[in-house]
Amino acid sequence: MAKNYLHEGWTIAVPAPTGGVHSGDPILVGSFFGVANYDAEQTLPVEITLGGAWQLPKAATVTFAVGAAVYFDAAAGNVTSVSTRGNKLIGAATQSAGAGDAVAIVRLNGVSV
């Protein structure tokens, strides 16, 4: 292995956002989107996982078909199908979700676009 290899990069440490985070919270830091691996107070380091499939809170009226693009609405703290208003593309739905569902199953793409 090359001597400059560090790690696979599926988890990274970032400063916890304002208000801190809880394990399982979705986090957007710059171009990185991930899920917190543990609780952390504001500005303290927290590891986030950038890949995998996750159950994430969903906007109330949004629906997803399998394979649909999923965006993160940082202001609302949930996922949506709306690509405007500064929402960031974070992955794709792995299961369909109806308007009444509270969560969506999302396969993360590792970065927000």
Task: Find the length of the chain.
Answer: 113
Contact 68, 91 (CB under 8 A): no
Contact 89, 71 (CB under 8 A): yes
C-alpha–C-alpha distance, residues 38 and 24, integer Å = 7
Mean per-residue pLDDT, 47-64? 95
Residue 97 has pLDDT above 90, yes or no: yes
Q: What pTM did the predictor assign?
A: 0.90
What's the pLDDT score for residue 60? Answer: 93
Question: Which residues, other chains included, contact 63 with Cβ-Cβ below 8 Å and sequence gap of 6+?
Answer: 81, 96, 97, 98, 99
Residue 104 has pLDDT above 90, yes or no: yes
Q: Would you tell me how many other CB atoms lie within 10 Å of the CB of residue 51?
A: 16
What's the pLDDT score for residue 21? Answer: 95
Residue 103 has pLDDT above 80, yes or no: yes
Give the pLDDT band of residue 40 (cuts 50, 70, 90). very high
Question: Which residues, other chains included, contact 30 with Cβ-Cβ below 8 Å and sequence gap of 6+?
Answer: none
Residue 85 has pLDDT above 80, yes or no: no
